[in-house]
C-alpha cells in the first residue's frame, strides 16, 4: 500500500511540475513575441527619425517596455516611459 501512495505522490508531483513548466514556457514564448514586435517597432521609429539603429539601445528599450508592461502599466504608458528613458539615457 505504501508503494502505491508513494507512486501516486511522485506521479502527481511530476504532473504538477510539467504543468508549471508549460505555463513558464508559454509566458516565455509570449514575452519573446512581444519582444520581437517591440524590436521591429523600434527599428521603424529609429528609421523615421533618420537615426542609426543600435541593437543595444533597442534591447534596452524593449527590456524597459516589457518590464513596465508586465508590471501592470498600460501599453501606452509603458511606451511613453521607455521612450523618455531611452532619450535621456542615450542622448537622443
pLDDT score, position 22: 43
Tell me which residue range forms the domain holding 58: 25-89
Does a structural domain hold residue 12?
no
Measured CA to CA, the distance from residue 89 to residue 92 in angstroms comes to 8
Helices (H), the chain: 2-48, 55-70, 75-89
Whether 6 is in a domain gets the answer no
Express each pLDDT in 37-67 by its tens digit.
999 999 999 999 899 999 999 999 999 999 9
57 located within any domain = yes
Express each pLDDT in 69-82 by its tens digit: 888 778 899 999 99
Query: Is position 69 within any domain?
Result: yes
Q: Enter the pTM of the model.
A: 0.65
Asked if the structure places residue 53 within a domain, the reply is yes
List all residues 6 or more positions away from 78 whose beta carbon is below 8 Å from its beta carbon.
Answer: 64, 65, 68, 69
Amino acid at each position: 500500500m505504501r508503494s502505491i501512495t508513494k507512486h501516486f505522490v511522485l506521479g502527481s508531483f511530476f504532473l504538477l511540475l510539467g504543468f508549471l513548466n508549460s505555463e513558464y514556457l508559454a509566458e516565455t514564448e509570449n514575452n519573446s513575441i512581444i519582444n520581437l514586435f517591440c524590436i521591429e517597432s523600434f527599428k521603424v521609429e529609429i528609421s523615421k527619425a533618420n537615426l542609426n539603429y543600435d541593437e543595444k539601445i533597442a534591447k534596452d528599450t524593449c527590456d524597459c517596455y516589457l518590464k513596465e508592461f508586465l508590471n501592470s502599466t498600460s501599453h501606452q504608458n509603458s511606451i511613453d516611459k521607455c521612450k523618455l528613458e531611452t532619450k535621456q539615457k542615450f542622448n537622443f
